[in-house]
Amino acid sequence: MAKKITVKDLLDNTRLTVVTGGEYLDRPITTENISRPGLEMTGYFNYYAAERVQLMGITETSFAQRMSHEEKLLVARKMMSAETPVFVVSTGRQLPEEFMQAANEAQIPVLATELTSSRILSNMTYFLSGQLAERQSVHGVLVDIFGLGVLITGDSGVGKSETALELIQRGHRLIADDRVDIYQQDEERLVGEAPAILKNLMELRGVGIIDVLNLFGAGAVRNHATISFNLHLAKWEDGQVVDRLGNGEDSIRILDVDLPRLVLPVQTGRNLAILIETAAKNFRAKQMGFDATETFNSHLNSLITENSN
């Protein structure tokens, strides 16, 4: 389920200031798409997307200077629909008085910025796409390890939180414990974050709930991270088949993305934190083109060729 956000959320997370309508910042924003109402300024409203954030820059405000008072007021009142969440004015431009009047009549806030239209458009789209994206909740722990978002999953009681705590003590950063809210950034990337109620908190059996930010400092937490791979902690069972070479191509599908997956058997005496660190380093090395399994296979083939001659 996607988040519900308001104009105030947009104001707090982008470089915008209130021009008018500060009392109407609770208006909801329901779509990440943003409109540049160029055609509407000419009076063409056949395909007006009223539910979108309306962005006016140099082109729109300059065109308005050529319009009569009556034309501006007529167009402005048509644009100030009951569905319209907010008007944003870029590049330090001023909205015509007729538009300000219509905005106040319709109780629609007007925000402004010194940023160019392309820059504020990019900022708002990035924020809205992340906040309004469909979300999937996963039971697990998300930790930033060497800049890689590692989603640690496993059966209840297998030691996910305890392992994450040791990773934090080793200098890595917690994003979420127990439950990870995941949304799709684009066709290939998943981003994870903690639910608001669990942000910076961790539950440890026998200890209780701890505040990681308070105990370990700001460097021990992050708000969100792109998920690089899933590391699944599986309880060791006798006779269990384990991938010893690391050439398995396992994955787990979350939303519309196939996330690489590594299964790590949990057994008494195994230092999970060090193993997970090593798995993260090895994953990054493979991304850079250094694959130890391929090196081993190459050495093995060379040895076989030498012995056969």
Annotated binding site for ATP: 154-161
Residue ranges of the annotated binding site for Mg(2+) are: 161, 203
3-state secondary structure the chain: CCCCEEHHHHHHHCCCEEEECHHHCCCEECCCCEECCHHHHCCCCCCCCCCCEEEECHHHHHHHCCCCHHHHHHHHHHHCCCCCCCEEECCCCCCCHHHHHHHHHHCCCEEECCCCHHHHHHHHHHHHHHHHCCEEEEECEEEEECCEEEEEEECCCCCHHHHHHHHHHCCCEEEECCEEEEEECCCCCEEEECCHHHCCEEEECCCEEEEHHHHHCHHHECCEEEEEEEEEEEECCCCCCCCCCCCCCCEEEECCEEEEEEEEEECCCCCHHHHHHHHHHHHHHHHCCCCHHHHHHHHHHHHHHHHHC
Residue ranges of the annotated binding site are: 154-161, 203
- Catalytic positions: 139, 160, 178, 244
